[in-house]
């Protein structure tokens, strides 16, 4: 689906993020599987990633991110109408991590649910949150993107182990007098689902032997390089915006080679691209909000700036959104 954001203007009024304290280097992974710092750096651009402590679940990472986002928006948990958590690694299948978070935040009158769209989840959740606020159904929506992928990685599979990391980010969506969200392009291709999947995790099969991520790296690479460009170009055309007018490009952080390809094809100058894959690896639904937080800290996320975000991942899914940033960010 593709559309201009034609309802009441909606924007991001608060932002927070959290990564686990533990840094895992490429050399550390090379003690477990047949790989090397050189190979990982050259093929992915990843230097290190964060991994959660065994006692930390997604809600533990997401909670401080949510608190920071609410504080920046100047609202309390009890004022939130809806909590959406985009993830493939909820605390458990049910209750939803969104319900757990709503409780811990005191969001007693909020609706809460998790959303499964792989690494695209955060962009999908932004679209849903936008729709709820723009239509007047909700006034304040808390959107969380985060994953603890280290929990579902096979420590004997070098082709997946080296790619992923843990982290979470949260944003508050509210109506605004200014422009805010401009448009969305979202899609899914279930035919490609087996390129990146967790086969033993549901009602088809719930099984110890299939509880880790399985991936056809080459297929996902081909998909990613194509879709990051196509989704962004389709959305820019729909919104009648030139790539030259985009001030900040935030692609999903899967692999530096994929990001470089998309950046080159789209024609985005490198100083307008936000990168965190080198420090965090692929944090799935966390990657885009973590990158937004980086851009806030380095001063690039300013009111009036046009921000293009594009995600892609398991499903296979993809999604882009354009937003005219409206909030003054404290560094």
| Cβ nearer to ligand COA, comparing 101 with 290 | 290
- Of 186, 188, 120, 179, which is closest to residue 307 (Cα–Cα)? 179
Helices (H), 106-251: 121-134, 158-161, 217-238
Which run of H or E residues covers position 147? strand 140-148
How many Cα atoms occupy the beta-carbon half-sphere of 294 within 13 Å? 22
Tell the smallest beta-carbon distance from residue 111 to ligand COA (Å): 28
For residues 273 and 34, what is the distance between their CA atoms, to the nearest angstrom? Answer: 32
- Dihedral angle at the C-alpha atoms of 230, 236, 237, 243, nearest 10 degrees? -100
Catalytic residue check, 252: yes
Nearer to ligand COA by Cβ, of 73 and 224: the residue is 224
Give the whole-angstrom CA distance, residue 44 versus residue 36. Answer: 12
Helix (H) or strand (E) holding 21: none
Give the footprint of ligand COA on this chain (CB under 6 A). Answer: 35, 39-40, 43-44, 119, 158-159, 162-163, 196, 215, 217-218, 220-221, 224, 254-255, 282, 313
**C-alpha span between 128 and 111 (Å, rounded):** 13
How many residues are given for the chain? 331
Least CB distance to ligand COA at residue 277 (A): 10
Task: Decide if 276 is catalytic.
Answer: no
The residue whose Cβ lies closest to ligand COA is 217
User: How far is residue 70's CA from residue 142's CA, in Å, rounded to a whole number?
Assistant: 8
Q: Which of 119, 239, 255, 276 is catalytic?
A: 119
Q: Give least dist CB 275 to ligand COA, A.
A: 15
Q: What is the closest distance, in whole angstroms, from the C-beta atom of residue 160 to ligand COA in the complex? A: 8
Closest CB to ligand COA among 43 and 265? 43
Task: Read off the tokens for 326.
Answer: 């409206």
* Beta carbon nearer to ligand COA, 13 or 285: 285
DSSP H helices in the chain: 26-29, 37-44, 58-73, 97-105, 121-134, 158-161, 217-238, 256-266, 277-280, 287-297
- Least separation in angstroms between residue 186's CB and ligand COA is 15
Least separation in angstroms between CB 19 and ligand COA:
18
Tell me which of 17, 26, 239, 252 is the catalytic residue.
252
Written as one string, the DSSP assignment of 60-91 is HHHHHHHHHHHHHHT--GGG--EEEEE-SS-S
Is 261 among the residues known to form the active site?
no
Query: 253 or 326: whose CB is closer to ligand COA?
Result: 253
Our CA dihedral for 198, 249, 113, 94, rounded to 10 degrees, sits at 30
| Tokens 């806030």, located at residue | 296
**CB of 195 vs ligand COA, minimal distance in Å:** 9
Q: Which residues participate in catalysis according to the annotation? A: 119, 252, 282
């Amino acid at each position: 689906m593709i559309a201009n954001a034609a309802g009441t203007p909606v924007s991001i009024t608060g932002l927070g993020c959290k990564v686990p304290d533990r840094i895992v280097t490429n050399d550390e992974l090379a003690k477990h599987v047949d790989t090397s710092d050189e190979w990982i750096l050259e093929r992915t651009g990843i230097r290190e990633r964060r991994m959660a402590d065994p006692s930390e679940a997604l809600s533990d990472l997401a909670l401080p991110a949510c608190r920071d986002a609410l504080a920046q928006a100047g609202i309390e948990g009890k004022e939130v109408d809806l909590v959406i958590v985009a993830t493939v690694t909820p605390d458990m299948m049910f209750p939803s991590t969104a319900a757990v978070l709503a409780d811990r935040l005191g969001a007693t009158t909020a609706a809460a649910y998790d959303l499964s769209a792989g690494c695209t989840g955060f962009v999908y959740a932004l679209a849903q949150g936008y729709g709820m606020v723009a239509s007047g159904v909700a006034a304040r929506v808390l959107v969380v993107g985060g994953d603890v992928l280290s929990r579902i990685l096979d420590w004997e599979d070098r082709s997946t182990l080296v790619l992923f990391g843990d982290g979470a980010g949260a944003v508050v969506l509210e109506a605004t007098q200014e422009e805010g969200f401009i448009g969305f392009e979202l899609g899914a291709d279930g035919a490609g689902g087996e390129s990146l999947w967790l086969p033993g995790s549901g009602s088809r099969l719930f099984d110890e032997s299939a509880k880790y991520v399985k991936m056809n790296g080459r297929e996902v690479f081909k998909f990613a390089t194509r879709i990051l460009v196509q989704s962004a170009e389709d959305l820019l055309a729909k919104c009648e915006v030139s790539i030259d007018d985009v001030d900040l490009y935030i692609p999903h952080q899967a692999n530096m080679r994929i990001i470089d390809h998309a950046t080159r094809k789209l024609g985005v100058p490198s100083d307008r691209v936000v990168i965190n894959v080198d420090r965090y690896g692929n944090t799935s639904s966390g990657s885009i909000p973590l990158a937004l937080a980086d851009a806030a800290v380095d001063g690039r996320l300013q009111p009036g700036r046009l921000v293009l975000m594009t995600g892609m991942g398991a499903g296979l899914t993809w999604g882009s959104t354009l937003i005219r940033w409206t909030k003054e960010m404290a560094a």
